[in-house]
Amino acid sequence: MAETTPGPRYSERSIEERMGLLDKAKMHAKALSLGMLRLARPQRITLRYPMERPVLSEGYRGMIVLNNDKCIGCSLCARVCPAAAMKMFNAAPKKLRPVINYERCIFCGYCVDICPVEALYHVPVHDLVFENRDDMVFDLETFTKEPEEPEHVRKVKVVIDEEKGLRYVPVDSE
Amino acid sequence: MSQQSQILTRRLDKDILEVFIGPQHPGSGHMRIILRVDGDIIVEAEPDIGFVHRTMEKLAEGREWVKNQPLFERMAILDAANCTLGYIMAIEKLLGIEPPPRAKYIRTILAELNRIASHLYGMGIFAILLGHSTMYMWFFGDREVFVELAERLTGQRLTHSFFWPGGVRRDLPSGFKDELEKGIKYFEKRLKEYEVMFLKNPVIRSRLEGVGYISRQKAAELGIVGPNIRASGIRHDVRIEEPYAAYPELDFEVPIYKEGDALARTLQRVDELRESLKILRQAVNRIPEGPILHERYLKMFTKVLKDVLETEKRVKLAPALFNLRPPKGEAYARVEAGRGEYFYYVVSDGQNKPYRVRVVSPSFRNSIVFKYVLPGHRVADLPAIYGSIDYFPPEADR
- Tell me the mean pLDDT in the region A13-26: 82
Would you state the pLDDT for residue B1? 45
Residue A58 to residues A38, A159, B154, B179, Cα–Cα distance (Å)? 33, 13, 10, 14
Mean per-residue pLDDT over chain A, rounded = 84
Q: Is the ipTM of this complex over 0.90?
A: no
Q: Which of B71, B202, B248 sits opposite A28 (nearest CB)?
A: B202
CB contact under 8 A, A161 and B240: no
Shortest Cα–Cα distance, A136 to chain B (Å): 21
Kindly give, in sequence order, each residue whose CB lies less than 8 Å from that of residue B203, ignoring residues fewer than 6 positions away: B132
Shortest Cα–Cα distance, B336 to chain A (Å): 13
Euclidean distance between CA atoms A10 and B336, whole angstroms: 14
DSSP for B131-193 reads: T-HHHHHHHHHHHHHHHHHHHHHHSSSS----EETTEESBPPPTTHHHHHHHHHHHHHHHHHH
pLDDT for A1 beyond 60: no
Which residues on chain B are in Cβ contact (under 8 Å) with A158? 148
DSSP for B77-111 reads: GGGHHHHHHHHHHHHHHHHT----HHHHHHHHHHH
| In chain B, domain spans | 56-369+377-397
Residues, chain A: 174
Euclidean distance between CA atoms B390 and B29, whole angstroms: 11
Q: At what angle do helices B262-286 and B176-194 cross, to 10 degrees?
A: 160
How would CATH label the architecture of B56-369+377-397?
Orthogonal Bundle (1.10)
Which residues on chain B are in Cβ contact (under 8 Å) with A7? 248-251
Shortest Cα–Cα distance, B42 to chain A (Å): 26
Would you state the pLDDT for residue B335? 92
| In chain A, domain spans | 21-51+153-171, 55-141
Given its phi and psi angles, is residue B324 left (phi above 0), alpha (psi -120 to 50 degrees) or beta?
Answer: beta
By the 10 Å C-beta count (0-12 exposed, 13-18 middle, 19+ buried), B304 is classed as middle
Residue B307: enclosing H or E segment and its boundaries? helix B303-312
> Which of the 8 DSSP states describes residue B7?
T
In CATH, A55-141 is 3.40.50.1820? no
Would you state the pLDDT for residue B90? 92
Residue A126 to residues A62, A139, B51, B60, Cα–Cα distance (Å)? 5, 18, 30, 27
pLDDT single digits (tens) B129-173: 888 888 888 899 899 899 999 998 888 888 888 898 888 988 888
pLDDT single digits (tens) A52-106: 888 888 888 888 999 888 888 888 888 889 988 988 888 888 888 888 998 889 9
Q: Residue A46: closest CA among chain B residues belongs to which residue?
A: B141
Would you state the pLDDT for residue A3? 44
Would you state the pLDDT for residue B313? 79
Torsion of CA B52, B332, B119, B161, to 10 degrees: -70
What is the three-class DSSP state of B363? helix
Instruction: Single out the residue of A49, A55, A60, A61 nearest to residue A159, CA to CA.
Output: A55
Torsion of CA B20, B22, B23, B27, to 10 degrees: -170
Q: Residue A166 is which amino acid?
A: L
Residues, chain B: 398
Which residues on chain B are in Cβ contact (under 8 Å) with A82? 63, 67-71
CB B74 within 8 Å of CB B41:
no
Euclidean distance between CA atoms B38 and B18, whole angstroms: 9
Kindly give, in sequence order, each residue whose CB lies less than 8 Å from that of residue B68, ignoring residues fewer than 6 positions away: A82, B60, B87, B354, B357
CB contact under 8 A, A10 and B247: no
Q: Which of B148, B201, B315 sits opposite A27 (nearest CB)?
A: B201
CB contact under 8 A, A165 and B141: yes
Would you state the pLDDT for residue B17? 81
Instruction: Single out the residue of B333, B345, B143 nearest to residue B245, CA to CA.
Output: B333
By the 10 Å C-beta count (0-12 exposed, 13-18 middle, 19+ buried), B157 is classed as buried
> Which of the 8 DSSP states describes residue B245?
T
Would you state the pLDDT for residue A160? 87
What is the three-class DSSP state of A155? strand
Q: Residue A167 is which amino acid?
A: R
Residue B57 to residues A60, B188, B327, B360, Cα–Cα distance (Å)? 30, 39, 20, 10
| Residues forming beta bridges with residue A53, ordered by sequence position | A155
Which residues on chain A are in Cβ contact (under 8 Å) with B124? none
Q: Residue B74: closest CA among chain A residues belongs to which residue?
A: A106
pTM: 0.88
By the 10 Å C-beta count (0-12 exposed, 13-18 middle, 19+ buried), A22 is classed as exposed
User: Which ranges in B159-302 belong to alpha helices (H)?
Assistant: 176-194, 202-208, 216-222, 227-230, 238-241, 262-286, 295-298
Phi, psi of A167, deg, nearest 5? -125, 145
Q: Which of A18, A43, A164 sits opposite B209 (nearest CB)?
A: A18
Given its phi and psi angles, is residue B92 left (phi above 0), alpha (psi -120 to 50 degrees) or beta?
Answer: alpha
Low-confidence ranges of chain B (pLDDT < 50): 1, 8
pLDDT tier, A173 (very low <50, low <70, confident <90, very high otherwise)? low
B395 Cα distance to chain centroid? 9
Euclidean distance between CA atoms B254 and B237, whole angstroms: 8
User: Which ranges in A41-105 belong to alpha helices (H)?
Assistant: 76-80
B94 Cα distance to chain centroid? 24
Q: Which of B63, B141, B257 sits opposite A82 (nearest CB)?
A: B63
Euclidean distance between CA atoms B154 and A103, whole angstroms: 23
Number of A:B CB contacts under 8 A? 165
Would you state the pLDDT for residue B114? 92
